[in-house]
Amino acid sequence: MSTHPVVRIAGVAAVGLLLGGGLVAALWQPWAGAGSSPEAPRQTAVAERTTLSAHLILNASLEYSAPTVLVGVGGTLTRLPQPGEVVGVGQALYEVDGHAVVAFRGARPLWRSVESGMSDGPDVQQVEQNLADLGFGDGLTIDNTFTAATERAIRAWQKAAGRERSGVIEQADVVMVSAPAVRINAISALVGASAAGPVLSYTEPGIHGRMKVTAAQLTQLAPGMAVTVRLPSGVETPATIAALDPEGVATTDPAKTTTPTARVEFPDQSLLEGLGLPALRVTVGTGGAENALVVPVTALVALAGGGYGVEIVDAASPPANSPDSSPASASVPAGSRSRTVPVEIGLIADSRVQITAGDLHEGDRVVVPG
């Protein structure tokens, strides 16, 4: 006979929460408004020790980085790239007055010609860094000062590119981008139009995933956490949570509430080629416990005084259909006695719950709904 007033738990919310350094579970408490429906058949399950692993299943939408608008400085556009084209540093992004405008990497656009006699400035250092990265840095000191070595490096670059060896980089010769390579996102101008204004927008070439998560899920994630992503083909590939954004993605309506998001990076971009931008399933391992004492989560009962318990069938009354063994599940024999003991719970995963404290032992039989 049970010694604690209880309510049998018929369902749980299997969401692990971090509390006080340990994993606990938030369980549905159905005693509010419980009816008097007939009790389900009583079955038992064995408390056992095993390794328990918890996983969080989320959806991720594939996307490119936010686009950056590139602004030209003048002249007539004579060639433009195609959306989707990838252009690396040192390559031509578009053409003005029949001359290639080359992508250099830097945070500041050029605001003057880079040439002998100019005053010191960060634009000099940007150009020198690009020349060195492209293989023209012999004898070059990368700093804010234009020197004879800077001019020699410019001439060497111009020769390799088939340009006039003037030793001067004009403001319209190069355009600064923010990455080693960029993907053309959209074209803002027309061939034959002026290049003085927005010409195109670009993104980083890599595709990443964006997951919308709840505030509770956010607490279970961390940058650098490994995840597994299932592709539409069924192939599973490893990925990494690169960043968390508690404020979510900005919307066009400032008053609209946004949800937290997490960014997923893929080490093997080749697997994403030709996929488009579908939604993918992401599996996150959020915790685990080795040698855990576990029972089916439906074995938990809510105690009237608070907390949870399990109903244990007396060992002296083995299941009638198996006198010499302990099957994983069996019916409660007629006339069996049982007792309800309070327990503390830990990790919930795969419809099982870890018992961290209480008078329950491996091999004990607990009552579960039939």
Ramachandran class of 97: left when φ > 0, alpha when ψ lies in -120 to 50, beta otherwise: left
Give the number of other CB atoms < 10 A from CB of residue 238: 11
- DSSP secondary structure letter of residue 260: -
Q: How far is CA 364 from the centre of its chain?
A: 41
- The pairing of beta strand 174-177 with beta strand 99-105: parallel
How far is 231 from 235, CA to CA, in rounded Å? 5
Question: What pLDDT is attached to residue 252?
Answer: 66
Q: b/e map of 13-43 (b: 16 or more CB within 10 Å)?
A: ebbbeeeeeebbbebeeeeeeeeeeeeeebb
Residues 318, 294, 11, 53, Cα dihedral to 10°: -150
- Map 125-142 to HEC letters: HHHHHHHHHCCCCCCCCC
Residue 157's contacts (CB-CB under 8 Å, 6 or more residues apart) are 131, 134, 136
Question: What pLDDT is attached to residue 335?
Answer: 60
Tokens for 318?
A: 């083995």
How far is 243 from 264, CA to CA, in rounded Å? 7
How far is 207 from 272, CA to CA, in rounded Å? 8
Residue 59's contacts (CB-CB under 8 Å, 6 or more residues apart) are 211, 212, 279, 280, 281, 282
Give the number of other CB atoms < 10 A from CB of residue 285: 15
Beta bridge partners of 347: none
Beta bridge partners of 340: 311
First to last CA, the chain: 19
Q: What is the CATH number of domain 58-64+207-287?
A: 2.40.30.170
Name residue 278's amino acid.
P
Which residue spans within 32-97 are E strands per DSSP? 42-46, 48-63, 68-72, 77-79, 86-88, 92-96
Rounded to 5°, the CA angle 172-178-179 comes to 115
CATH value of 112-170 in 3.40.1050.10, 1.20.120.80, 1.10.101.10, 1.10.1380.10: 1.10.101.10
Where in the chain are the domains?
6-56+289-369, 58-64+207-287, 112-170
Q: Same CATH fold, 112-170 and 58-64+207-287?
A: no
Please give the chain's pLDDT, 370 residues, in tens.
545 555 555 444 333 333 333 333 334 444 444 444 455 557 888 988 988 777 788 999 999 999 999 999 989 999 999 999 999 999 999 999 999 999 999 999 999 999 999 999 999 999 999 999 999 999 999 999 999 999 999 999 999 999 999 999 999 999 999 999 999 999 999 999 999 999 999 999 999 999 999 887 887 788 988 899 999 988 889 999 999 988 766 666 666 667 899 999 999 998 888 888 888 999 887 667 788 888 888 888 888 888 888 889 885 544 444 444 445 556 666 567 888 899 988 877 767 788 899 888 998 998 887 6
